[in-house]
Amino acid sequence: TQQHIAFIGLGNMGAPMALNLLKQAYTLKVFDLSAAAMKLLADAGAQAVESAQQAVAGADIVISMLPASRHVEGLYLGEQGILPQIADGALIIDCSTIAAQTSQKMAQAAQARGLSMIDAPVSGGTGGAQAGTLTFIVGGDAASLERARPVLNAMGKNIFHAGTHGAGQTAKICNNMLLGILMAGTAEALALGAANGLDPKVLSDIMSKSSGRNWALELYNPYPGVMDNVPASRNYQGGFGVDLMHKDLGLAAEAALASQAATPMGELVRNLYGMHSKAGAGGKDFSSILELLRK
Ligand code: NAD
C-alpha cells in the first residue's frame, strides 16, 4: 500500500529531500513557514497544507528537517505541538541536527504516546540532498530503523546505525566539528597561497593530490571561482549557513563540557564562526569563513 508522508521543514536541505521522495511512490503533505518553499513543493506535486497539524493527519511517516533544537521541540511538544495529532503506529524521523539530549527527550515523549521516533541527521550537503546521496546517521532502536530504511534509501546512499536515541546526533556533531576545522583550515591555506601570489585553482589542484586533501577542498572549495556549483561561486548563497555551523560547533562544545573531552580545535573554530556571524555573515554559506581570513 502507498505510504503517506508528512514532511515539515523545506529549507536548503528539506526541499531537495522531499523532492526525491516525490519521485518515488510516496504521497507527501508538506509544511514550512516560508511560502516560497511551499510553492516549490506544490509545483512538484506535493500537497502544501496550512499547518504542521494538517500535514501529519493520516501520515504513516512524519519527517522533520528544521534548524535547531528549539524548533524541533516546539514542533512536536509546543503549544500547537503535533505529537498528539500523529496517528497511532506512525513512525517519526527527525533529520535535523539538534542536541542529543533533545532527541532523547523527544523519543521518550513519542514513546509515551505509543509512537516510534528516531534521530536521523544527515551529511552530504545540499548537493547530496539533491542527488539523493546523503549519509543518514541514525540513533534509535533497530526495528524503527528497518521501518525507516526504504524512505531513507529514497533520499540517501549510506545509512549508519550509530546507537540508541541521540547517538545519531552525537556522531553528527563529531563529524561537523571536524568539517568546521577542515573548512577553516582549507580557507586559511588558500588565502595564504593567494596572498603570496599563487592561483587558488592551481593551489587547490596541488593540495588535492597532496597530503592536505579533504572534502572541503575537493568538493566544497571555499575560494570563489575555483569550482562551479558550490556556494563560493555564487556569493556564498544557499548551502549550509554560518549560523547552522556555529550551532553545531556549540553542540560539540556542550558535549565536550559534559564529558570533559578536550576539543581545542573545535573551540577555536567555534569562535571564528561566532565572530564571522557577528560581523554579519550568519546567513551566508559556511565556506564564506574565507572572507574572514582573506585580505
Ligand atoms: P534552512 O534554514 O535552509 O531550512 C530550515 C527550514 O525550516 C526553513 O525553510 C524554515 O522556514 C523552516 N522552519 C523553521 N521553523 C519551522 C516550523 N516551526 N515549522 C515549519 N517550518 C519551519 O536549514 P537547512 O540548511 O535545510 O538545515 C536543516 C537542518 O539540517 C539543520 O539542523 C542543519 O544543521 C542540518 N544540515 C544542513 C546541511 C546543509 O548543508 N545545509 C547539511 C546537513 C545537515
* 162-167 mean pLDDT: 98
Pairing of strands 122-123, 134-139: antiparallel
Please tell me if the CB atom of residue 122 comes closer than 6 angstroms to any atom of ligand 1: yes
Alpha carbon distance 15, 12 (integer Å): 6
CB-based burial of residue 185 (10 Å sphere; 0-12 exposed, 13-18 middle, 19+ buried)? Answer: middle
State pTM to two decimals: 0.96
Alpha carbon distance 147, 167 (integer Å): 18
Q: Measured in angstroms, how far is the CA atom of residue 70 from the centroid of ligand 1?
A: 12
Q: Measured in angstroms, how far is the CA atom of residue 82 from the centroid of ligand 1?
A: 18
pLDDT in tens, 109-160: 999 999 999 999 999 999 999 999 999 999 999 999 999 999 999 999 999 9
Mean pLDDT of the chain: 97
Asked whether the CA dihedral 200, 205, 211, 217 is positive or negative, the reply is positive
Please tell me if the CB atom of residue 9 comes closer than 6 angstroms to any atom of ligand 1: yes
Nearest Cα to Cα of residue 261 among 155, 195, 174: 174
CB 266 within 8 A of CB 181: yes
For ligand 1, atom 31, which residue shows the shortest CA distance?
67
Q: Measured in angstroms, how far is the CA atom of residue 211 from the centroid of ligand 1?
A: 34
State the catalytic residues. Answer: 172
At residue 176 the predicted structure's pLDDT band, cuts being 50, 70 and 90, is very high
Instruction: Cell numbers for 170, please give them.
Output: 552525537
pLDDT in tens, 84-107: 999 999 999 999 999 999 999 999
Query: Which atom of ligand 1 is the closest one to the Cα of 13?
Result: 26
**What are the structural domains, with CATH classification, of the chain?**
3-164 (3.40.50.720), 170-293 (1.10.1040.10)
For ligand 1, atom 21, which residue shows the shortest CA distance?
32
Please report the ipTM that was assigned to this predicted complex: 0.99
pLDDT at 25: 82
* Site to substitute for ligand 1 among 8, 30, 32, 102, most atoms within 8 A of C-beta: 32
For ligand 1, atom 14, which residue shows the shortest CA distance?
66
End-to-end CA distance of the chain: 59
More confident call, 25 vs 258: 258
CB 12 within 8 A of CB 34: no
Instruction: Cell numbers for 107, please give them.
Output: 523519543
* Kind plus residue range of the DSSP H or E element containing 27: strand 26-31
For ligand 1, atom 1, which residue shows the shortest CA distance?
11
Alpha carbon distance 188, 268 (integer Å): 13
Instruction: Cell numbers for 177, please give them.
Output: 566539528
